[in-house]
Structure 1
Amino acid sequence: MKLTIVGCTGSFPGPGSPASCYLLTAQDGDRQWKIVMDLGSGALGAIQRYTDLEDIDAIFLTHLHPDHCMDLCGLHVAVRWKPGGWGRDRIPVWGPAATADRMATAYGLDLDPGMHEEFDFSNWAERVPVKVGPFTITPFAVNHPVEEAYALRVEVTEPDKDGTPVTRVLTYSGDTDSCQGLEDAARGADLFLCEAAFEEGRDDGIKDVHLTGKRAGQAATAAGARRLLLTHIPVWTSQTAVLAEAKPEFAGDVAVAVAGVHYTV
């Protein structure tokens, strides 16, 4: 399974990265599958560096803040108005129950049909897995001030070097403060892609919104994750600071996500 960091800046795009968007690629026989976790502000342009839009097999939204979903509006235009027609069926989109209506309202469309002609919308059911190609994606409710927010646990079974099937796990926190759901989602993850929007000493008094680097490290340790990749860092938060906070809390490999970088899980 390959992870491409399309966008990793928190809250709104920064000068070096769009807002949250992550492309996952895996093989299933001769077929390569591509799924997208979040499609935040500014991400639609950047993702075209790594894939044709028509090659996206499904989109998974953690919650409905604009920095995680708003470029679905642009993708709607690409699907609806591409000269010669869109070359595939509707794109499956999983998200909170309000996703279809929220996107239609954002683009000024009537709710019926809204964007249903371009996207096949499905609602998350907490801890109920969804299967797309080689990917199994399970949503875990987490601690963020919206009606529905989820961390996503992504599992792929692929052959190891000796041909033995091995299941790899990537967990993406979405946006959250510390909670049991986050730790459950990241249990034993090979790679824990975890937000760290807040800094200790500046934001640690704010609860139930975002993690600090310290709290991200603590969550990774509690979950028994193998690697920690900090993401969703706003322009006003120091990457150096949150990395320094996380390292004493987590004994494994820790790094900061960088837009355009690929990781093998």
Structure 2
Amino acid sequence: MRLTVLGCSGSVGAPGAACSGYLLSTAGHRPVLLDCGPGVLGELQRYAEPIDVDVVLSHLHADHCLDVPAMLVWRRYAPRPATERAVLYGPPGTALRLGAASAEIPGDIDDISDTFDTQEWQHGSEVSIGGLEFLPMQVNHPPQTFGLRITGPQDQVIAYSGDTAMCDEVVDLAQGADIFLCEATWSHAPDERPPNLHLSGYEAGQIATKAGVRSLALTHVAPWSDAETILAEARSTFSGPVDLVRAGQVFDLTA
């Protein structure tokens, strides 16, 4: 079970840095793209053929989903276009949101069902995709957002916070995870962040400790934030290994 970081810039892109996108792969199965923010399609091409991946989305903010319309162009018009639909899971309204973004005329909705079989997450209902088990749990972030607990073929576990503020659900989904891929958009300084929207490094470390995870991987750091401060905050509240993820980083999980 492999996790490859395609993009990890929080809220907006940064110079040379794509927004949220992570490639999950396990032997003998189609790779799964976890979130697809601006810049992610370009990075995906380093590792996989875009028509050969399935897609799951945590939520429908632009920085997590708006390279899917570009993927539609690739799947429809590349010299080797897709011949069958890919799986696309997301929150309720995913097909409408992406259809509006892809439409050629303002106000129209592009019917994306020619290339994606779109399904909607249900809180607490596990789904099998690409040899992996995905357990979606709704977390504390507007619009409707799902964190994901992802279990591999040898019971390896990646927990992905999605975007969230503090809530019990993100602690639950991270319980005992091998890797907790957790957003830490800002530092904990109260004058630097709106309340009840995203996590600080301090809070990410607190959640990792409560959940008893094996390692913490911080992501979604905004370009205007001080990444080293966020990393130090997380290390002050979690005693295990802490990474500040970067594009191109690979995590291999074995039994």
Structure 1: state its 5+ residue gaps.
Answer: 159-166
Query: Match for residue 143 of structure 1?
Result: 140
Find the aligned partners of 2:215 and 2:99 in 1 and give their Cα distance.
38
**Runs of 4+ in structure 1 over 6 Å off:** none
1:42-61, Cα deviation, whole Å (9 max, x unpaired): 111111011111221x2110
* Deviation at residue 26 of structure 1 after TM alignment: 0.8
* Deviation at residue 203 of structure 1 after TM alignment: 4.8
Q: Which amino acid aligns with 2:165?
A: D
User: What percent of counterpart residues are identical?
Assistant: 38
Q: Which amino acid aligns with 1:81?
A: Y
> In the alignment, does 2:40 pair up with 1:52?
no
Q: Is the 8 A contact 1:183 1:223 kept in 2?
A: yes
Query: Match for residue 118 of structure 2?
Result: 121
SS of corresponding position for 2:147: strand
Find the aligned partners of 2:47 and 2:62 in 1 and give their Cα distance.
22
SS of corresponding position for 1:39: coil
* Deviation at residue 3 of structure 1 after TM alignment: 0.6
* Deviation at residue 16 of structure 1 after TM alignment: 3.1
In the TM superposition, what are the counterparts of 1:71-86 in structure 2 within 5 Å? 71-86=67-82
* Deviation at residue 187 of structure 1 after TM alignment: 0.7
Q: Which amino acid aligns with 1:141?
A: Q
Q: Which amino acid aligns with 1:92?
A: V
* Deviation at residue 81 of structure 1 after TM alignment: 1.3
1:207-262, Cα deviation, whole Å (9 max, x unpaired): 22100000000011111111000000111111100000000111110010000111
Query: Match for residue 248 of structure 1?
Result: 236
Query: Match for residue 249 of structure 2?
Result: 261
Query: Match for residue 164 of structure 1?
Result: none
In the TM superposition, what are the counterparts of 1:158-237 in structure 2 within 5 Å? 158=154, 167-203=155-191, 206-237=194-225
Q: Is the 8 A contact 2:51 2:81 kept in 1?
A: no
Find the aligned partners of 2:5 and 2:191 in 1 and give their Cα distance.
26
TM-score norm. by structure 1 comes to 0.91
* Deviation at residue 66 of structure 1 after TM alignment: 0.5
Query: Match for residue 15 of structure 1?
Result: 15
SS of corresponding position for 1:36: strand
> In the alignment, does 2:64 pair up with 1:68?
yes
Find the aligned partners of 1:152 and 1:52 in 2 and give their Cα distance.
24
SS of corresponding position for 1:221: helix
TM-score norm. by structure 2 comes to 0.94
Q: What is the aligned-residue RMSD (CA, Å)?
A: 1.4
Q: Which amino acid aligns with 2:150?
A: V
Question: Match for 2:32 among 30, 35, 51?
Answer: 35
The total of aligned residue pairs comes to 250
